[in-house]
Chains A and B, each alone.
Chain A
Amino acid sequence: MTTGKTTRMSTIMTMLDDFLVRAGLAAVGLSLATGPLGAFVVWRRMAYFGDATAHAAVLGVALALATDLPIGLGTLTVALAMAATVAGLAARGWAMDTTLGVLAHSALAFGLVAISFFPGVRTSLSSYLFGDILAVSSSDLALIWLGALAVVALLVWRWQALLTATLSEDLAHAAGLNPDRERLVLVLALALVVAVALKVVGALLIAAMLIIPAAAARGLARTPEGMALGAVALGAAAGLGGLGLSLWQDTPTGPSIIVVAAVLFALSALRGRV
């Protein structure tokens, strides 16, 4: 028994040694979180909000480099700060379209300028912008899965309340829920996803990973849960498909994942038309 278990464990460890297996697992792990969260981003029209938070990750990388913090912690901190800022401004009635445009692009520009002060990093800049899933280490993988499972746990725990508040803040209030708190849950989940997704698809394409699979799942689903699960499945398919495309045609992996997601969206949209 013991030796059998050990053998199986060592087989798994050997598998994890394979960078392709790690990349595949990273893509699937990420889609667990982006599926349900992406559904809320679509329902609540938070696409720009996701963009602003994701772009802030670049600034987070600079912060981590400057302070010798782990990259994940730096991006999580800055993404959280950005998400909280945007949510706070929205609550104060700022014009969101303009505000988000200013914040999203400023965060990106400031981040890029800040990173340029670290000469060694310049060459690897594109991995922060477009992801570097083929370089995911075992510890990266552990972080991705832990982060993704944390997001899933958070969303499952608040699911009923989140859905009610998304449908109507008044209905949520009348049921004794606090829509502001539910919004905070989404902000927290978004910051976590940004930190988790940076390595996989990169800062520029995180929002795409949230929106495209969820939008593709819309036409195939009859319930909110169906759409969230569909987004997980399509996100995972896009992740694995993009990985394959990248190997086959030697294309950058992050963008390849989004290309496959976009094709899946187009197919779903066509099916909806017929």
Chain B
Amino acid sequence: MTLIAADRITVELDGREVLENVTLNLAPGEIVTILGPNGSGKSTLLRALLGILPLAGGRIDRTSGLRIGYVPQRLAIDRTMPITVRRFLSLPVRATDQAAAAALERVGMAGQGSVQMTTLSGGQLQRVLLARALLGQPQVLMLDEPTQGLDQQGEAAFYRLIETVRTETGAAILMVSHDLHVVMAASDRVICLNGHICCEGTPRVVSTAPEYRALFGLGTQGALALYRHEHDHDHSHDDRQDHPHVHDHDHA
């Protein structure tokens, strides 16, 4: 069973092709992480899957009535808006006090309902965003760089929390990240993205893939390599000059 099936989707922003020919399937209960450098189209892919961005090509099929919980990359609440955590959890769908309390407890924010949103730390805000997403009892949880601004410990704790959520609710989880180590350990499947899918598979397979090592400069031939590609790898669309990533053909 597939919850979301994206078939060769292409997305353009301001006339520039940001994603090309991306195919991705999401099954219940799996944790999939999209990895890629800045500007590789990770957030764009999530936003396309959510239906926020129009497609320039390809198609996306969702199971009918699919409930998606979304945790955005950041939430800049204007200081002019007073709003408590409890009130925020009821947007846009009103949550009962009981459900709101349970959601806060699950993310480790029990009893924090009366706190003002603007006073939360980065980690607390991520937890509240997650609690809000969980209130909709999502079948798919999409998180855009959920550990941005967290220290290593906070990061590890957050991923443990995500894994608990998966175990308890059976939701599929699709995460975007640009950090490697913790995220690799927490995922069932990793997709390396750089405008197109460079490689994908289990963390073990991906971490040894030359495309992955190249993308993150982990190659044995020097960390300076911005992007070294293998010639058996499909880069046919890369001839266009406006493509975001830089090629280093010098394999020395």
Interface residues of A (CB under 8 A from B): 42-45, 160-161, 163-164, 166-168, 170-175, 177, 215, 218, 221-224, 226-227
Contacts of A221 in B (CB 8 A): 82
B99 to chain A, nearest CB (A): 16
Interface residues of B (CB under 8 A from A): 47, 50-52, 68, 70, 72, 75, 77-78, 80-84, 87-88, 90-94, 114, 116, 142
A20 to chain B, nearest CB (A): 35
Tell me the complex Cα distance, A45–B81, Å. Answer: 11
Tell me the complex Cα distance, A221–B94, Å. Answer: 20
- Would you call B75 and A167 a contact (CB within 8 A)? yes
Tell me the complex Cα distance, A223–B114, Å. Answer: 10
Q: Which of A43, A167, A215 contacts B91 (CB 8 A)?
A: A167
Give 5 closest A-B pairs by Cβ, nearest first.
Answer: A174-B70, A164-B92, A173-B52, A160-B92, A221-B82
Tell me the complex Cα distance, A174–B83, Å. Answer: 20
- Would you call B116 and A222 a contact (CB within 8 A)? yes
Contacts of B142 in A (CB 8 A): 174
- Would you call B87 and A223 a contact (CB within 8 A)? yes
Interface centre among A161, A224, A227 (most CB of B within 10 A): A224
Tell me the complex Cα distance, A168–B129, Å. Answer: 12
- Would you call B92 and A223 a contact (CB within 8 A)? no
CB-nearest residue of chain B to A166: B81
- Would you call A215 and B93 a contact (CB within 8 A)? no
Apart from the given pairs A160-B93, A167-B81, A167-B88, 14 other A-B contacts in the complex at a CB distance below 8 Å: A42-B80, A160-B91, A166-B81, A167-B77, A167-B83, A173-B50, A174-B50, A174-B68, A174-B142, A177-B92, A223-B84, A223-B87, A224-B81, A224-B82
Q: Which of A45, A170, A177 contacts B78 (CB 8 A)?
A: A45
- Would you call A224 and B70 a contact (CB within 8 A)? no
Q: Which of A171, A222, A226 contacts B75 (CB 8 A)?
A: A171
Tell me the complex Cα distance, A168–B81, Å. Answer: 13
A65 to chain B, nearest CB (A): 38
CB-nearest residue of chain B to A222: B82
- Would you call B50 and A224 a contact (CB within 8 A)? no
19 inter-chain pairs at a CB distance below 8 angstroms, sorted by A residue, are: A160-B91, A163-B92, A167-B81, A167-B88, A170-B72, A171-B75, A173-B50, A174-B52, A174-B70, A175-B92, A175-B93, A222-B116, A223-B82, A223-B83, A223-B87, A224-B81, A224-B83, A227-B81, A227-B82
Contacts of B80 in A (CB 8 A): 42-43, 215, 218
Q: Which of B51, B72, B94 contacts A171 (CB 8 A)?
A: B72
Contacts of B75 in A (CB 8 A): 167-168, 171
- Would you call B70 and A170 a contact (CB within 8 A)? yes
Contacts of A160 in B (CB 8 A): 90-94
B74 to chain A, nearest CB (A): 9
CB-nearest residue of chain A to B86: A223
- Would you call A218 and B82 a contact (CB within 8 A)? yes
- Would you call B87 and A224 a contact (CB within 8 A)? yes
Interface centre among B77, B82, B88 (most CB of A within 10 A): B82
Contacts of B83 in A (CB 8 A): 167, 223-224
- Would you call A43 and B81 a contact (CB within 8 A)? yes
- Would you call A43 and B52 a contact (CB within 8 A)? no
Q: Which of B78, B90, B92 contacts A172 (CB 8 A)?
A: B92
Whether A168 contacts B72 in the complex (CB less than 8 A), given A174-B50, A223-B87, comes out as yes
CB-nearest residue of chain B to A173: B52
Tell me the complex Cα distance, A118–B84, Å. Answer: 53
Interface centre among A160, A167, A226 (most CB of B within 10 A): A167
B44 to chain A, nearest CB (A): 12
Contacts of B116 in A (CB 8 A): 222
CB-nearest residue of chain A to B132: A171
CB-nearest residue of chain B to A164: B92
Contacts of B51 in A (CB 8 A): 173
A11 to chain B, nearest CB (A): 41
- Would you call B92 and A161 a contact (CB within 8 A)? yes
A142 to chain B, nearest CB (A): 34
A113 to chain B, nearest CB (A): 36
Tell me the complex Cα distance, A128–B114, Å. Answer: 45
Tell me the complex Cα distance, A218–B79, Å. Answer: 9
Contacts of B87 in A (CB 8 A): 223-224
Contacts of B91 in A (CB 8 A): 160, 163-164, 167, 171
Contacts of A222 in B (CB 8 A): 82, 84, 114, 116
Contacts of B47 in A (CB 8 A): 170
A47 to chain B, nearest CB (A): 11
